[in-house]
Amino acid sequence: MAAKATSNTVSIIEPASFSSKVLGEVLVLDGALNLASMPMRLAETLAYASQENLPDCLTIDFQKVGEIDSSGVALLLHWRREAGKLGKALRYVHLPENLVELATLYGVDDLIECPLHRGT
pLDDT in tens, 72-102: 999 999 999 999 999 998 889 999 999 999 9
The verdict on residue 41 lying in a domain is: yes
Residue 2 lies inside a defined structural domain of this protein = no
Q: Is residue 48 part of a domain?
A: yes
When pLDDT is averaged across residues 22-33 and rounded to a whole number, the result is 84
In a domain, 7, yes or no: no
Q: What's the pLDDT band for 23 if we cut at 50, 70, 90?
A: low
| pLDDT tops 90 at residue 69 | yes
Q: Which domain range does residue 84 map to? A: 19-117
Q: What is the count of structural domains for the chain?
A: 1
- The predicted model gives 28-39 an average pLDDT of 92
4 inside domain: no
pLDDT in tens, 101-116: 999 999 998 887 755 4
Residue 5 lies in a domain: no
CATH number for position 78: 3.30.750.24
CA atoms of 92 and 90, how far apart (whole Å): 7
Q: What pLDDT shows up at residue 1?
A: 41
| Ordered DSSP codes for 73-101 | HHHHHHHHHHHHHTT-EEEEES--HHHHH
Global confidence as pTM: 0.75
Share of the chain above pLDDT 70, in %: 74
